[in-house]
Amino acid sequence: MGTTTIGIIGCGNISDAYLKGAAASQLIKVKACADLRPEAAQAKARLYGIEAKSVEALLADPEIEIVINLTVPAAHASVSLQILNAGKHVYLEKPLSAQLADARAVVASADAKGLRVGCAPDTFFGASHQAARHAIDGGRIGQPVGGTVAVLSHGMEHWHPNPGFFFKAGGGPILDLGPYYITQLVNMLGPVARVAGVTTIGNATRTISSEPLKGQSIDVEVPTTVNGLLQFASGANLTLSASWDVWRHQRAPIEIYGTEGSMLVPDPNFFGGTPMISERDAPWQPLDISAHPFGVNNRTKGSGEAVADYRIVGVLDMASAIQQGRAHRASGALALHVLEVLEAFERSSNEGRHIVIESRCERPEAVPLGSGEEVFGAAYAVA
Ligand SMILES: NC(=O)c1ccc[n+]([C@@H]2O[C@H](COP(=O)([O-])OP(=O)(O)OC[C@H]3O[C@@H](n4cnc5c(N)ncnc54)[C@H](O)[C@@H]3O)[C@@H](O)[C@H]2O)c1
Helices assigned H by DSSP within the chain: 15-23, 38-48, 55-60, 73-85, 100-113, 127-137, 172-176, 178-189, 313-324, 332-351, 372-375
Q: How many CA atoms lie within 13 A of 237 on its CB side?
A: 6
The mean pLDDT of 289-317, rounded to a whole number, is 92
Q: How confident is the model at residue 377 (pLDDT cuts 50, 70, 90)?
A: low
Identify the CATH assignment for 127-293+332-356 out of 3.40.50.2300, 2.40.280.10, 3.30.360.10, 3.40.50.20: 3.30.360.10
Strand partners, 199: 226
- Other residues' Cβ atoms within 10 Å of the Cβ of residue 290: 9
Return the pLDDT at 313: 94
Residue 192 and residue 140: Cα distance in Å, rounded? 22
Cβ–ligand 1 distance for 40 under 6 Å, the answer yes
CATH number of 4-119: 3.40.50.720
Residue 112: pLDDT band with limits 50, 70, 90: very high
Least confident range from 129-143, 223-237, 367-381: namely 367-381
- Give the separation between CA 22 and CA 19, rounded to whole angstroms: 5
Residue 378 has pLDDT above 50, yes or no: no
pLDDT band for 380, please (50, 70, 90 cuts). low
Q: Is the CB of 19 under 6 A from ligand 1?
A: no
Mean pLDDT of 263-277: 97
> What single letter denotes the amino acid at residue 95?
P
pLDDT tens for 344-358 read 999 999 999 999 999
Beta bridge partners of 355: 195
Cα 65 to the chain's mean position, in Å? 22
pLDDT computed for residue 45 by the predictor: 98
Measured in degrees and rounded to the nearest 5, phi and psi for residue 188 equal -85, -40
Average the pLDDT over 134-142 and give the result. Answer: 98
Question: Residues 168, 314: contact at Cβ < 8 Å?
Answer: no
Burial of 180 (0-12, 13-18, 19+ CB in 10 A): buried
- For residue 12, the 8-state DSSP code is S
Give distance in angstroms: CA of 76 to centre of ligand 1. Answer: 9
Atom number of ligand 1 nearest to Cα 166: 43
Q: What is the pLDDT of residue 383?
A: 44
**CA 367 / ligand 1 centre spacing (Å):** 28
Burial class of residue 67 in the structure, from the number of CB atoms within 10 Å of its CB (0-12 exposed, 13-18 middle, 19+ buried): buried
Task: Please report, for the chain, the start and end positions of each structural domain, with discontinuous segments joined by +.
Answer: 4-119, 127-293+332-356
24-29 mean pLDDT? 90
Q: Say yes or no: CB of residue 12 within 6 Å of ligand 1.
A: yes
Q: What is the mean pLDDT of the chain?
A: 95
Q: Which of 36-45, 299-308, 359-368, 371-380 has the lowest mean pLDDT?
A: 371-380
Nearest to 239 by CA among 195, 176, 278, 208: 195
Calculate what percentage of the chain has a pLDDT beyond 90.
Answer: 91
Matching fold, domains 4-119 and 127-293+332-356: no
- Cβ proximity of 192 and 233 under 8 Å: yes
* pLDDT the model gives residue 371: 82
Res 379 pLDDT > 60: no
What is the tens place of the pLDDT at every residue in 49-79?
Answer: 999 999 999 999 999 999 999 999 999 999 9
- For the segment 286-308, the average pLDDT, to the nearest whole number, is 92
Q: Cβ(125)–Cβ(367) under 8 Å?
A: yes
Query: Distance, CA 75 to ligand 1 centroid (Å)?
Result: 9
Q: Which residues pair with 89 in a beta bridge?
A: 66
**Centre of ligand 1 from the C-alpha of residue 372, in Å:** 27
Contact assessment for residue 361 and residue 117, using Cβ atoms and an 8 Å cutoff: no
